[in-house]
Chain A
Amino acid sequence: DAGVIQSPRHEVTEMGQEVTLRCKPISGHDYLFWYRQTMMRGLELLIYFNNNVPIDDSGMPEDRFSAKMPNASFSTLKIQPSEPRDSAVYFCASSLSGDGYTFGSGTRLTVV
């Protein structure tokens, strides 16, 4: 298995632009998580899905952030409009039955 696949690896965008981050979880995993990591705040859980259904989005910072999981093999995290303070590394992780998590390599987002 190729593991959790995230794209793009790096994204540089201008303030105000829409940004879409993508994630393909491990086949057969029923949980998917989106995390954000910054030096100031560490690793923060933004939202997670179980069987494609959003369960807890209490970590989503504001309405500019949205996440979808249209099917078991794909999820997106969208920021619209983006701001410089959104600059961070965004990780996607998946797990089977909520146990051991497998993380992707992350997307490094820079908003200028």
Chain B
Amino acid sequence: DAKTTQPPSMDCAEGRAANLPCNHSTISGNEYVYWYRQIHSQGPQYIIHGLKNNETNEMASLIITEDRKSSTLILPHATLRDTAVYYCIVRVADKDKLVFGTGTILRVKS
């Protein structure tokens, strides 16, 4: 699976959009971009995934650049409960392993 690069930490004001970047310059054509998050003391939680088109669900939006070398996870109106570690993972969909990196610690502040 391709490697990803994420900033170690970010801050965001409550109510504002949180934009979390991820670089995956060596991504292959059949690899998807997955986002998970882990709130303190809980197991990781699936957020969203996409191949090349932008995706949106009730939790977040995923913007993937045209060359697919980077992506941005957007939480449109961050709340204090969104404070968590966010993991960007690249893998072939339905391929077995999900390998976690170090992620981005997002702190939402009031």
- Whether, in the assembled complex, A102 has its beta carbon less than 8 Å from a beta carbon of chain B, the answer is yes
Contact A98 B94 (CB under 8 A): yes
CA distance A43 to B44 in the complex (A): 10
Do residues A97 and B98 form an inter-chain contact, with CB atoms below 8 A?
A: no
Q: In the complex, A48→B97 CA distance in Å?
A: 8
| CA–CA, A7 and B41, complex, Å | 15
| Residues of B with C-beta under 8 A to A104 | 43
Question: Does chain B have a CB within 8 A of A105?
Answer: yes
- CB of A100 closer than 8 Å to a CB of B: yes
B42 at the interface (CB under 8 A from A): yes
Q: Which residues of A are at the interface with B, using a C-beta cutoff of 8 A?
A: 4, 31, 33, 42-43, 45, 48, 50, 55-56, 91, 93, 97-106
27 residue pairs bridging A and B, Cβ less than 8 Å apart: A4-B43, A33-B98, A42-B101, A42-B102, A43-B44, A43-B100, A45-B97, A45-B98, A45-B99, A48-B96, A50-B96, A55-B96, A56-B96, A56-B97, A93-B44, A97-B94, A100-B46, A100-B49, A101-B36, A101-B46, A103-B42, A103-B43, A103-B44, A104-B43, A105-B42, A106-B41, A106-B42
